Structure 1
């Protein structure tokens, strides 16, 4: 029959099956993935405190502590310490072995096993076997086996269960207070009041990992100047692109016939960013003034470099190459000429974390 489905309460003439064979069970269940039945919800763990913790005995034998796992769709539990022997390596080249949990369909069980690699000048550990209906392995440890029968060294390759990802219609920050640590939560913005975003609750608290929808908008403030353009002419488009990392693109348009210029003795223009900059290691953003009418004594195109001062701040200060002489370096951007546009963009670290 071309179509097969299971498990149902009774076998049917249309391909449904009540019974599930060993192979059918594996086909159905392996899709949940291989993992150790333990969630890493603490910020740190002591050595030996995790399931399947291991240590080397007498330089050649590895003792594995109790634990539970899913391997190739089958459940496995070790309820007492068990040792695994590592084969001798008397030659002059090192070897990399693995210690695995192996689901063997021929044996009808899951068991710990050591898989021997090949000695080489640059040894490579054997990859786990994953064949439905035959052998399916999950690696617990990579084992460095030195030449001349040196003492083996263990490297943990443990893969753990994770808390499920949570969807929240809104107010995900408040909901996150009640989910497991080291979990992802998605704000779906069902009420349309913000941005769809992915957040992570970890050792540093709740942080936005990335925005998932369109760009956010922000109206910047132009500081140290004689007048503000209309809000529609002070546009910032921005988004979280990684934990604590912001990308933005800004346009300030002077649609009037007068220059926007510094006042009260100020000599450079300030611009407000959508999120504060972590000023402990300040950077700089690049942009330009497009001045198609050559107004205000500025050329058609002027380079702009904007930077925050040290300390956490959402304000950047704009500078431009001196129009008097190249040897004078940078001067303050003291105006946005009439009917010109200032563009600025960049990526920066914000202040989500307390360091």
Structure 2
């Protein structure tokens, strides 16, 4: 099965870094042929070491039916795994007060998402990718419960890495959209933290030296007045106070954020207007709608929702993803696992 190499310079850097790291990536959704095809592609592209979860005979049979060669990829059956009891005990400790008994812990670990996240938590894997089959809520729940947010991070959030073909804006068509898959209505304080975290993700995971985050609104620099605009203005002030070294500005309309001549006209003197490569949305409605419209109308590649702010990397997928999307998200997870926390998000 052929592996499609990235066409964008930013993702090319991600692939190059993933090849150097050779991190262990868990793919738990082996009931889906896209996961099995992606596993072969990751191995062929040398992006890392894949671990598949499931009953081995069944997984290998499905892979053959899907035309995927996984002969050299290990398949772990959670219930037969040598560390299953150790995992159950650790899970009982981690979820103390939330899980009543060791039997409850064992039952949770029969869920491949919980088992995969526990592998990552206990350093038997470096990251996990799921969401081709399961909902974002199902993927994120064990990550938040077991791995939790990293020290010093008040809120975990979700972003999409967007690659827009033939686009002069952003980072030659590369953008991060946040939060486009997590928090329905973040407060001003949370919105500020999302902007800061996304800037660090852009720099340390994707290798873009100058993240430029636009705090989006339907208003640019006071052109409209409303409480939902006030939230964006306040979030910008908080972000600038916390991290004056980062380029974060708002409130900006979409055209003022992206188009240089409009940015100069609507927000003269702004360090971000007309140059944004990160778009921070005021709420999940706006972020989710925008990423889906960009993906479909601009024929963009959309990777995510990718989680940031967790202590160890677990990333989500859209259930409409292709096998190649899983490959690219796995490469992102591998790179994230290589970067010491503190620099990572």
**Considering the TM-score relative to the shorter chain, is it more than 0.5?**
no
Structure scoring higher RCO (CA < 8 A, sep ≥ 6) equals 2
TM-score in terms of structure 1 length: 0.22
TM-score in terms of structure 2 length: 0.23
Q: Which has the larger radius of gyration?
A: 1
Structure (1/2) with the larger strand percentage = 1
